[in-house]
Chain A
């Protein structure tokens, strides 16, 4: 039996080779798709490891701490956390300008790394970079250098954000001069790999980095010896730290109070030998104590050993016509021993009572029982505008003595109740105060005299509760903590008892390497994507396998009849065939698996070139994982064997006589009328298509496209059914006898309806899909941009309102520029930095960017929605209002783009999601709405008030949406370029960068459109393969029909006419298939184009179909030419 099989394989090697090639192609496609997925993941992993090198953990803190903390941590954590190096650095986000040449070039969102030589030692041993860090200049990576067009020796203007202790949104926070510009020469340009591409955000797009010596940066920022980053290298550079190692590292971190910007000082009032009052005072250079510190203190100390104070600057204290300006008022509950006063009846201060010191009472001429009124600025400002709070009225409870110069101090003589504030508390006079607002109240000589004698000693005291009611904000509600002094309670004791948790105060390590490797699994399953793209290649290959197998079997029909005639059972000779073809399939699968490697390589080349818009990188490299190769081979083999098995099964039973006669066709022609069911079914399908298409006009977006696609599919099926019906009908009345070459060609094509329909069906389906899939091409729409023309970002916070004249003046707009901008409405959004979770990033996001939307934006509405949890008519009319809906468990309502939700974060409507907050606590969201194809891809959108509650430290706005107000959308679009220039020129110091909103949207949509293009390209390749394969099959069929062709030649058919007949047969199948497919595709595409706009890549598709038609005709011509070479005469001889 084996000899028989092998000899058959050898004899029929031509047809078996063709089948094997079909198996090869199918397997190559399967294997290649799996390898593409493996390669993308491996490339992302390699990129992540390359960018991080040996860095496993990173700590980045908002405030600057002692760089020496690195050495302390290294000593502490060395063994327990498997730490091999701890390096201090400063990481900033800044703007860099190239100032030479004709055109100024600017790069924003540049990572500025302040580092010393220790940073570069964090590279792997294999890394080839030795970066010369010169104190005289900066080093840039190639990506930044190319963007700026600079070379070594050119000068860069680097704009550095200056750190501030006070939030800009607080009344006392600086709102200007927050950016320092420094000019540095470029001393080296390094390739953008290794640590030169260091980035904390995972993206396949190379980061733009500028490296400056740490000491130089410290000098520029006026922060000698300080840093804001710790980089930790572990002992597993290829994997990162384990969870346990991360925990130990975090435990080993022990910042000092000064690192937290805290100070714990002993305060003594009076003679130290006999003090009036003594205490330990904990305050912050940031004015407000972090809530975590207050919480810890309350947990660690009983109420009688802890006193909280909240000091605030009141603009005036008034009593009748008298007022005193700019006074410190302290909210505090007095404690025995801690002061600052004692009530006569021991009753605590009521919330409507105030205690004045004697100086204030004297100035206001008030006594106990009188009323006084406090005016003040609200503790939070927006757009740099200070707002006065509602005046607060109090009843004077009592007057406490304030000692004057020369007198022994009283408990009220306590200027340390006011936290130190450089520029204010250290100034000699009130006039010298360096405040971000103008002092509008009149400063009298008495006020200056008070300042001379008492500095910031509070003039009034209210209850802590009332103070918090008036002045607490997202920045805090306590300015100092006071602890009694005791022999067993020193400052060290207090600090030890507080047990401050670094993670709660922003000192939290991130296991960046472990997170990077986890996110390298990516968001897009490329193996399935390419399997889908290459589906037609596979289908064509499998169709060829089935077709060629059937042709081969037909050719061997006589043999099979002979087998049966000599006694082989049907089962036995079928097994012979199966084994023979299993061997072919095995060989094809093995070869195909290897060819799959080449296919994968080709696809990666495509992704890096033609289809780069989908992946935004050319750095994807082939990674051959042999398990995937084996899986592809196995699956390919299995699929092909199943195909052959199905084809064999469909052979059905044929009598030995029929087989010996070479007959395998059991087609009984229908009557001339044909069965009614086929016509009725086709009519029903067409009617359904009309209804579905009509229904599609009521839908929108993908739903509409899907409806039209369904209508096209129904049309396609109906047309194929009609063709099939036509072919099978007996059509030989006198008037319809084939009398022309064309008719003969049609008759020949119809002699094997199954085969012909397979050919027509493949071509029709392929061309239908190739054209119809274009209906899903997306173009930017007004709904997608929300009607906005411009999208802008800034590296540094914009603290003033672009919509007001005063705001524009503060920002430095010229008169003309301000007037132009006045015609535009700007919505300013808050930004909490995070990963890019849009389709532009191949990495999986671990913490997307969060945007805080102002209430005006929510009220404005707009954008298209893919779904929402709207219930009420108000919410349904404007789902943005859902962002204000309270959620029972305290989760924050969030809206995001549907694509980001589905593909980036794998969440849906109604799902919960969480990210890490600043204080180490998770921030929990509830998805209440999904936008469709919007410019907000990649971001989480929340209401501004929720944003500020979760990210209180964020001041100002860094993302802006602009729309023209006083002109049509078309005019606004035209003005956009001028507005862009005005904004970027005026706000260049802040790194202001403007993009057209539709361009931004187009970048997102281009990803999907590129994937569609990929599908069309590979689908076209599949169709081409199918066409060529069909021609090969036709050629085989021609060979089988050489007897007929010989007769026709004997009857006087010229060679040319015979060739024409064969070409007509081939061509008619192709043209009918393309025609049906195109017609059905028009049904799918045309309504959507009319209704929704957009366009087809007509040139691309026309070219593709023309190429297929040309290839088909060429193949048919080759087949036809073969006719001339056939030994037709032998066919005429009797067998």
Chain B
């Protein structure tokens, strides 16, 4: 069974003074198809947690396993391949390549290891259709609205059928309507392919649509109280 396990993950950053502890003994488990929302104030370590879970950063101590495999035990090329095949990211600032079209931006992960195959192009087109941007498939990011760009970012994250999708405040820069749209799109698409989804957000409204909610404060995960569920 696909699952994500994080055991006592700690992350510290060196500073001029005392080391900055961002994550303190964070542990969590996620099963296939499960959706988790993590909330917390700014600077609480939410993005750092996603980066560690997504293998973009190494934990100082602790362990992360995806489907039983410890990706940090892999050499860098294999780690990159692992990340390419298993993990999809959606960032708050969409980070689309401005010189590439919508199609090319969605195809980007398929070029990470080798050139994109025809099936990749079909998959990308399918996802673009799902996010409702077929008529803008050849357009550049500069010609899209913020919401449209984020929809492209969502499609990009899913093109390689990742097991785990990590979204770092994907709706943070969007208005309410687009935020709802993108958020729901993300949930639906992830659900379609039975991937695990961890989303970091400030939006209680969005968090309530998830199976589970946790808070991260002072680097420690805790439950999200029912009082916080009020909108």
Give A residues with C-beta under 8 Å from B. 663, 669, 730, 732-734, 737-741, 744, 747-748, 750-751, 1043-1044, 1046-1057, 1129, 1132-1135
Distance, CA A1135 to CA B84, complexed state (A): 25
B76 within 8 A of A: yes
CB within 8 Å for A1134 and B92 given contacts A751-B98, A1056-B77, A1129-B57: yes
Structural contact, A739 and B95, CB atoms closer than 8 A: no
Structural contact, B91 and A1047, CB atoms closer than 8 A: yes
Structural contact, B100 and A1047, CB atoms closer than 8 A: no
CB distance from B7 to the nearest CB of A (A): 22
For residue B107, which residues in chain A have a CB less than 8 angstroms away from its CB? 737-739
Stretch at the interface among B21-29, B113-121, B174-182: B113-121
Q: Considering only CB atoms, which chain A residue lies closest to B109 in the complex?
A: A1051
Q: A-B pairs with CB below 8 Å: how many?
A: 119
CB within 8 Å for A1052 and B112 given contacts A737-B121, A751-B98, A1043-B93: yes
Distance, CA A1051 to CA B87, complexed state (A): 8
CB distance from B116 to the nearest CB of A (A): 4
Interface residues as binary, B138-163 with A (CB distance below 8 Å gives 1, 0 otherwise): 10101000000000000010001000
Beta-carbon contacts under 8 Å, B32-53 to A = 47, 51
Distance, CA A40 to CA B83, complexed state (A): 67
Distance, CA A96 to CA B105, complexed state (A): 85
CB within 8 Å for A1047 and B57 given contacts A734-B103, A739-B116, A1054-B76: no
The number of residues on chain B lying at the interface, defined by a beta carbon within 8 Å of a beta carbon of chain A, is 48
Neighbour of B89 across the interface among A741, A1044, A1050, CB < 8 A: A1050
Interface centre among B54, B110, B112, B172, by most chain A C-beta atoms within 10 angstroms, is B112
Q: List 16 A-B contacts (CB under 8 A).
A: A732-B138, A734-B137, A739-B104, A739-B107, A744-B111, A747-B99, A748-B99, A1052-B112, A1053-B84, A1057-B80, A1129-B57, A1132-B56, A1132-B93, A1132-B168, A1134-B172, A1134-B173
CB distance from B155 to the nearest CB of A (A): 12
Distance, CA A744 to CA B103, complexed state (A): 13
B169 within 8 A of A: yes
Structural contact, A1129 and B112, CB atoms closer than 8 A: no
Structural contact, A737 and B104, CB atoms closer than 8 A: yes
Structural contact, B103 and A737, CB atoms closer than 8 A: yes
Structural contact, B76 and A1133, CB atoms closer than 8 A: no
For residue B76, which residues in chain A have a CB less than 8 angstroms away from its CB? 1054-1055
Distance, CA A968 to CA B76, complexed state (A): 74
Distance, CA A799 to CA B92, complexed state (A): 102
Structural contact, A1129 and B113, CB atoms closer than 8 A: no
Structural contact, B111 and A739, CB atoms closer than 8 A: yes
Distance, CA A730 to CA B85, complexed state (A): 31
Q: Considering only CB atoms, which chain B residue lies closest to A742 in the complex?
A: B115
B97 within 8 A of A: yes
CB within 8 Å for A1047 and B85 given contacts A1052-B80, A1053-B80: no
Q: Considering only CB atoms, which chain A residue lies closest to B159 in the complex?
A: A1051
Given contacts A738-B107, A1055-B80, 18 further A-B contacts (CB under 8 A): A732-B100, A732-B104, A734-B103, A737-B103, A739-B115, A741-B111, A744-B111, A747-B104, A750-B99, A1044-B95, A1046-B95, A1050-B87, A1052-B80, A1052-B87, A1053-B111, A1057-B113, A1132-B47, A1134-B169
Beta-carbon contacts under 8 Å, B70-93 to A = 76-77, 80-85, 87, 89, 91-93
Structural contact, B138 and A1051, CB atoms closer than 8 A: no
Distance, CA A283 to CA B99, complexed state (A): 101
B108 within 8 A of A: yes
B12 within 8 A of A: no
Q: Considering only CB atoms, which chain A residue lies closest to B116 in the complex?
A: A739
B101 within 8 A of A: yes
CB distance from A822 to the nearest CB of B (A): 80
Interface centre among B51, B91, B120, by most chain A C-beta atoms within 10 angstroms, is B91
Distance, CA A1046 to CA B91, complexed state (A): 11
Distance, CA A1054 to CA B79, complexed state (A): 8
For residue B169, which residues in chain A have a CB less than 8 angstroms away from its CB? 1134
Interface centre among B54, B104, B110, by most chain A C-beta atoms within 10 angstroms, is B104
For residue A1046, which residues in chain B have a CB less than 8 angstroms away from its CB? 95
CB within 8 Å for A1043 and B111 given contacts A1051-B156, A1054-B77: no
Interface centre among B138, B168, B169, B173, by most chain A C-beta atoms within 10 angstroms, is B138
Neighbour of B116 across the interface among A733, A740, A747, CB < 8 A: A740
CB distance from B220 to the nearest CB of A (A): 21
Give B residues with C-beta under 8 Å from A. 47, 51, 54, 56-57, 76-77, 80-85, 87, 89, 91-93, 95, 97-101, 103-104, 107-113, 115-116, 120-121, 125, 137-138, 140, 142, 156, 160, 168-169, 172-173
CB distance from A311 to the nearest CB of B (A): 103
CB within 8 Å for A732 and B115 given contacts A1052-B84, A1129-B51: no
For residue A1056, which residues in chain B have a CB less than 8 angstroms away from its CB? 77
Q: Considering only CB atoms, which chain A residue lies closest to B105 in the complex?
A: A1047
Structural contact, B95 and A1132, CB atoms closer than 8 A: yes
Neighbour of B103 across the interface among A732, A1133, A1134, CB < 8 A: A732
Q: Considering only CB atoms, which chain B residue lies closest to A739 in the complex?
A: B116
Distance, CA A1134 to CA B153, complexed state (A): 14
Structural contact, A1043 and B95, CB atoms closer than 8 A: yes
CB distance from B126 to the nearest CB of A (A): 13
Distance, CA A490 to CA B46, complexed state (A): 130
CB distance from A747 to the nearest CB of B (A): 5
Distance, CA A795 to CA B86, complexed state (A): 93
Distance, CA A738 to CA B169, complexed state (A): 29
CB within 8 Å for A734 and B121 given contacts A1051-B109, A1129-B56, A1134-B169: yes
Distance, CA A733 to CA B95, complexed state (A): 22
CB within 8 Å for A1047 and B103 given contacts A740-B115, A1134-B92: no
Structural contact, B51 and A738, CB atoms closer than 8 A: no
For residue A750, which residues in chain B have a CB less than 8 angstroms away from its CB? 99
CB distance from A557 to the nearest CB of B (A): 14
Distance, CA A419 to CA B137, complexed state (A): 115
Distance, CA A730 to CA B102, complexed state (A): 13
Structural contact, B56 and A1049, CB atoms closer than 8 A: yes
Structural contact, B47 and A1048, CB atoms closer than 8 A: no
CB distance from B18 to the nearest CB of A (A): 21
CB distance from B99 to the nearest CB of A (A): 3
Distance, CA A1050 to CA B51, complexed state (A): 9
For residue B156, which residues in chain A have a CB less than 8 angstroms away from its CB? 1051
For residue A748, which residues in chain B have a CB less than 8 angstroms away from its CB? 99
Distance, CA A1133 to CA B92, complexed state (A): 8
Structural contact, B91 and A1132, CB atoms closer than 8 A: yes
CB distance from A528 to the nearest CB of B (A): 44
Distance, CA A730 to CA B100, complexed state (A): 10
For residue B111, which residues in chain A have a CB less than 8 angstroms away from its CB? 738-741, 744, 1053
Structural contact, B54 and A1052, CB atoms closer than 8 A: no
For residue B103, which residues in chain A have a CB less than 8 angstroms away from its CB? 732, 734, 737
Q: Considering only CB atoms, which chain B residue lies closest to A733 in the complex?
A: B138
Distance, CA A741 to CA B111, complexed state (A): 7
Neighbour of B99 across the interface among A740, A751, A1053, A1055, CB < 8 A: A751
Distance, CA A671 to CA B1, complexed state (A): 50
Neighbour of B81 across the interface among A669, A730, A737, A1054, CB < 8 A: A1054
CB distance from B122 to the nearest CB of A (A): 10
For residue A1134, which residues in chain B have a CB less than 8 angstroms away from its CB? 91-93, 169, 172-173
For residue A1057, which residues in chain B have a CB less than 8 angstroms away from its CB? 80, 112-113
Structural contact, A1050 and B116, CB atoms closer than 8 A: no
Interface centre among B82, B115, B121, by most chain A C-beta atoms within 10 angstroms, is B115
Q: Considering only CB atoms, which chain A residue lies closest to B82 in the complex?
A: A1052
Structural contact, A1048 and B99, CB atoms closer than 8 A: no
CB distance from B136 to the nearest CB of A (A): 11
For residue B108, which residues in chain A have a CB less than 8 angstroms away from its CB? 1047-1048, 1051
Distance, CA A29 to CA B220, complexed state (A): 63
For residue B115, which residues in chain A have a CB less than 8 angstroms away from its CB? 739-741
For residue B99, which residues in chain A have a CB less than 8 angstroms away from its CB? 747-748, 750-751
For residue A747, which residues in chain B have a CB less than 8 angstroms away from its CB? 99-100, 104
CB within 8 Å for A1135 and B93 given contacts A1052-B81, A1053-B80, A1054-B81: yes
